[in-house]
Amino acid sequence: MNFEKLPIISAFLFWVGLFLLNAAAEDPGSQRKPSNDQWAFLDNGTIRIGVDKSRGACIGFFAEAGTKRNVLNHYDHGRFIQQSYYGDPDGSDWNGKPWRYNPIQGGSWRGKDAHVLEFSIDADSGLYAKVEPRHWASGKPCPEAIMEQWITLDGPVAQVRCKLTYSGKDQRTTRSQEMPAVFVDAELKHLVSIQQEKPVRRVPGWPNESGSTSEDWVAYVDDKDWGIGILTPGTSEFTCYRYRGDGKSGPRGSACSYVAPIRKVRLRGGEVIEYEFYLTLGSLEEIRSRFTALREENQEAANAVDDRPNIMMLFTDD
């Protein structure tokens, strides 16, 4: 498999414990967007991935090519595969709840769209988007937290590179950050992770549950062990839940399955946070085989000289 090699992540990594994401621990139901989406797709004949340009070019469609089955949920602006970051309490309010600094790639809970600053798509070079996000609670634009996204396809695997250029004030607290937030069709209810080389299965409840995986990937699968896998290299911890809502599943259903690989990060002005993740569809055996191959192919790259020195992922212990 000719997957692009992972870059070295040059930074100091300090783990300071695992806490539940406050945003995900609340009722995720919010104001839905009218059906005026603006979809753009990449399709290599094996898989098809789509972003909604009206909501921050977030990933809201992922399917096997030639099928109509979208495994993702995009019920509202918060429910995409997207970048989301958390800072300190800032006096904002989410549906009567005190909130914190929280730029979201898709937009706010009241349905205000994020602003796509640049967008391009090409069959060879892939998809690129540069986005000015919005504060999830207040809906205010966040020009100090510019997000970028690159998507390429390689056979059955989608590679996504995310970048946050943060020029705002230093946030005081180190928080769990979603890398990325992933919302899946509620029909895929079994969350699978790997522990001591064996698959561990669960049907998450509500609210958040924490977990870890020894192979840096998790998958949501159906009763026949078919579904979506998510790999964020170097990220073993995750948070997850299932929200039942009114029971309706599907891409626009209020029910959903959620998971987010997480790392501890404190946002500091003038810093850049960048990471990559991978998506694939298939049987549980296929998902694990592809991700195992990916990890093995990139093991040497992790010890090589970084050919992209501008890529940094910054972690702190304070």
What is residue 34's predicted lDDT score, i.e. its pLDDT?
55
Task: Confirm if 131 and 57 have CB atoms less than 8 A apart.
Answer: yes
- Residue 117's nearest CA partner among 141, 139, 138 is 141
Number of CB atoms found within 10 A of residue 23's CB: 23
Domain limits, the chain: 39-299
pLDDT at 5 over 60: no
Domain range 39-299, CATH class: mainly beta
Asked whether the bond before 143 is cis by omega within 30 degrees of 0, the reply is: no
Tokens matching residue 261: 């690989």
- Tens-place pLDDT, residues 37-63: 899 999 999 999 999 999 999 999 999
pLDDT more than 70, % of the chain:
83
Give the whole-angstrom CA distance, residue 138 versus residue 136: 6
Q: Tell me if 158 sits within 8 A of 180, measured CB to CB.
A: no
Q: What is the CA radius of gyration of the chain?
A: 18
pLDDT at 297: 84
Give the sheet arrangement for strand 237-243, strand by strand: 134-135, 103-104, 82-84, 175-185, 256-265, 237-243, 209-212
- Cα separation, 187 vs 73, in Å, equals 10
Q: What is the pTM of this model?
A: 0.87
Q: CA-CA distance, 315 to 318, in Å (whole number)?
A: 9
Q: Which of 25-29, 39-43, 59-63, 88-92 has the lowest mean pLDDT?
A: 25-29
| Cα separation, 273 vs 237, whole angstroms | 18
Distance CA 168, CA 170 (A): 7
For the chain, the average pLDDT equals 87
Q: Are 23 and 84 in contact (CB under 8 A)?
A: yes
Q: Please report which confidence band the pLDDT of residue 32 belongs to, taking 50, 70 and 90 as the band edges.
A: low
Report pLDDT digits (tens) over 230-251. Answer: 999 999 999 999 999 999 999 9
